[in-house]
Every structure is written in C-alpha cells, then in structure tokens.
Amino acid sequence: MSTFTNLLFHIVYSTKYRKRTIRLEWQDELYGYVGGIVRDQKGTLLKIGGVEDHVHLLAKLSPTIAISDVLRKIKSNSSKWINGRPDVSRMFEWQSGYAAFSVSESQSPSVSDYIASQAEHHRKMTFEEEFLAILRKHNIEFDTRYVFEQEIIE
C-alpha cells in the first residue's frame, strides 16, 4: 500500500517577550520568506498572518521532518533575515517556544479565515489573551506563570 498524509497544523509563535518588532513595511516580505523555508522543509504554507508581536501559520507539513525541526529552521532563518535588513537597528528575536495544533481538512477554511483576520482580531484582544484562549480551546494544561517568557530587567 502507498503512504498518504495530509498533516495540517495551526502554528503560533511570538517575538521575544512579545515585543512589537514585526514592522508592517516588511511583514509581507517576511511572510514570503517563511513560506520559502516551509517549502525547503518539504511543506506547504497555506496561510500566514499576524501582527507586530506574533505570527500564525496554517501549514501542511511533511511526515518525515519533526515539527520542532521545521519551527527551529523557520525561526532561526527568519530572524537572520530580519537582522540582516538595513532598517533593523536592534537585534530581533523570536520566543523560544511555539504552539502547534492539528487541523482537520474540514476546519482548514475557518482556520485560514481566522489567520487572515489577525489585525482586526487584535483590536479587541491581546496576544496573551488570544494565546491562552487557544490553549484552553485545545484542552492543553498550563500554568500561566510559565507560558510566556518574561524579560529580566536589571
């Protein structure tokens, strides 16, 4: 028998300390670059969107590459791309973690619409509120003290 997969994921990750450092003027270029990284990892980026402090992806990923490896490549390569821009003066970083949820084919259009409406969505809700709501929706247990990286100010 041949092998067939349709592994769709809704992936969410934020900038380091949720700083609003994704600039609108290069957001589309960044999203295209991320799409290229996903393709290099044998996947397909179906939708990408976000705001200044985080990104959502709907992606079809290969069963032969661990999702953690795909995210490591996306985050390391895209942060290098951002930091190589002449208009970036402070070091850009992504948070260390991410969230990834399986998506059924039947729910793909609604997840895609949700990702496309991020700017509108975040006029009413912060990333932190959204992220905790997504974790709850997917029945993920968490301690709010450890969900988000905290900046240590000395």
Domain harbouring 93, CATH code: 3.30.70.1290
Q: How far apart are the first and last CA of the chain?
A: 60
The confidence score (pLDDT) of residue 149 equals 87
Q: Note the residue count of the chain.
A: 154
> Does residue 154 have a pLDDT over 80?
no
The confidence score (pLDDT) of residue 83 equals 96
Round to whole Å and give the CA distance between 62 and 67: 9
Pairing mode, if any, of strands 99-103 and 8-14?
antiparallel
Q: Please, what sign has the CA dihedral across residues 126, 128, 134, 136? A: negative
Residue 4 backbone class (left: φ over 0; alpha: ψ -120 to 50; beta: rest): beta
- CB-side exposure of 7: number of CA atoms within 13 Å? 14
The model carries a pTM of: 0.93
List pLDDT tens digits, range 49-106: 999 999 999 999 999 999 999 999 999 999 999 999 998 888 999 999 999 999 999 9
- Examine residue 3 and state whether it is found in any structural domain, yes or no: no
- Examine residue 152 and state whether it is found in any structural domain, yes or no: no
- Examine residue 14 and state whether it is found in any structural domain, yes or no: yes
- Examine residue 154 and state whether it is found in any structural domain, yes or no: no
The confidence score (pLDDT) of residue 109 equals 97
Count of domains forming the chain: 1
The confidence score (pLDDT) of residue 143 equals 92
More confident residue, 42 or 2: 42
The whole domain housing 90 covers 8-147
The confidence score (pLDDT) of residue 150 equals 85
The confidence score (pLDDT) of residue 124 equals 93
List pLDDT tens digits, range 112-121: 999 999 999 8
Average pLDDT of the chain is 95
Asked if 35 and 28 count as a contact pair (C-beta separation under 8 A), the reply is no
- Examine residue 125 and state whether it is found in any structural domain, yes or no: yes
Asked if 92 and 2 count as a contact pair (C-beta separation under 8 A), the reply is no
How many Cβ atoms sit within 10 Å of the Cβ of residue 21?
17
The residue type found at 116 is A
- Examine residue 141 and state whether it is found in any structural domain, yes or no: yes
